[in-house]
Chain A
C-alpha cells in the first residue's frame, strides 16, 4: 500500500518563513503555526490521551520552537524539528500525569504481545460501516490507547500522519530498523485488538498455530 502523504507544508517558501520568524517576524511564525497546529494537536492527543494536556503541548511546543529558532540550523525540515519538540513535551505531560519519573519511548517495547497473530478470522467487509461515527471513534481511541507510548507514537507518525520511516526515525531519535520493528508490532497489536469488533459474524472466531 502506498503511504498517502497528508502532511502540510514542505513548500519552497517554508525556509523563507523560518528565516523571517528568526528575525522576529511574528506574522511569518503565525503562518508556520497555521500549517502545523492540527498535526501537532493530533500527535499530542495520541501520546497524552488527554485534551487539556494536548492543548498545553501545542502551546508549549510552538512557544519553545519560537524561543529556540536560532538553534534551528535547517539541516532537517522545520516540521521534523517541531515534532521532536512536541513529542518530548507530550512525554513530559504523560510522565507528570502518571506521576512517574520515566515515561519513555522505550517503555514496554520488549513485550511480545501481539507480535504473533492469534486472531485469524476474517473481518466483515467494510466493518467500520457497522458502527456510528461516535461509536467507531470510541473504539479506535480505546484500542490505540492500549498500546505502549513507543508503539503508538510510531504508528501515529507513520500511518496516521503519513510520514516516512526515515523522518519518523529522526523525529524520535530511533534507528530505521527500530522504527520498522515498532511499526510492525503496533500494526499487529491494533489489528488483534480491533478484531473483536470487526470480525465477520458468519465465520466465527479462529485461533491459529503459526507454522
Chain B
C-alpha cells in the first residue's frame, strides 16, 4: 500500500468504519511507515482537541435572553419572516 492510498482511507480508519481486511492492510502500512503513523495520530489528536474544547459555548444569560426572544416572536402568531 502506498501513502496516498492510506490517506484516502484515513477518515474511515479513524471512524472505525472499514472492513476488517482493509483495516488490517492499513495497520500493516502504519507498522512500517512512520510518516503515516504521525499523520494518523496527529489527525486523531486534532479531532479530539476540537471535540473536547468547545470553543463556542452559549453563555447562560444570553441563552435565557434568546429563548425569551424566540418565544415572544412565536407568540405573536405568524409574524413576517424578517426580524423586527
Q: Hey, which bits of chain A sit against chain B, CB under 8 A?
A: 1-4, 26, 29-30, 33-34, 37-38, 41-42, 45-46, 54-56, 58-60, 62-64, 66-67, 115-117, 120-123, 127-128, 133, 136-137, 140-141, 144, 155, 159-160, 162, 165, 180, 183-184, 187-188, 190-191, 194-195, 198, 206, 208, 210-211
Contacts and interface: CB of A to CB of B under 8 A. Distances in A.
Contact of A33 (B3, B70, B83): B70
Contacts of B4: 116, 210-211
A211 B6 CA distance: 11
Contacts of B51: 4, 159-160, 162
Interface of B: 2-4, 7-8, 10-12, 14-16, 33, 35, 38-39, 41-51, 53-58, 62-63, 66-67, 69-71, 73-75, 78, 81, 83
Nearest to B5: A211
A30 B56 contact: no
B76 to A, nearest CB: 10
A4 B63 CA distance: 25
A140 to B, nearest CB: 5
Nearest to A203: B38
A30 B78 contact: no
23 contacts: A4-B51, A29-B71, A34-B67, A37-B66, A45-B56, A54-B56, A58-B70, A62-B74, A64-B81, A67-B78, A67-B81, A116-B7, A120-B38, A122-B42, A127-B45, A136-B53, A144-B50, A159-B47, A162-B51, A180-B11, A187-B11, A187-B47, A190-B50
Contacts of B75: 26
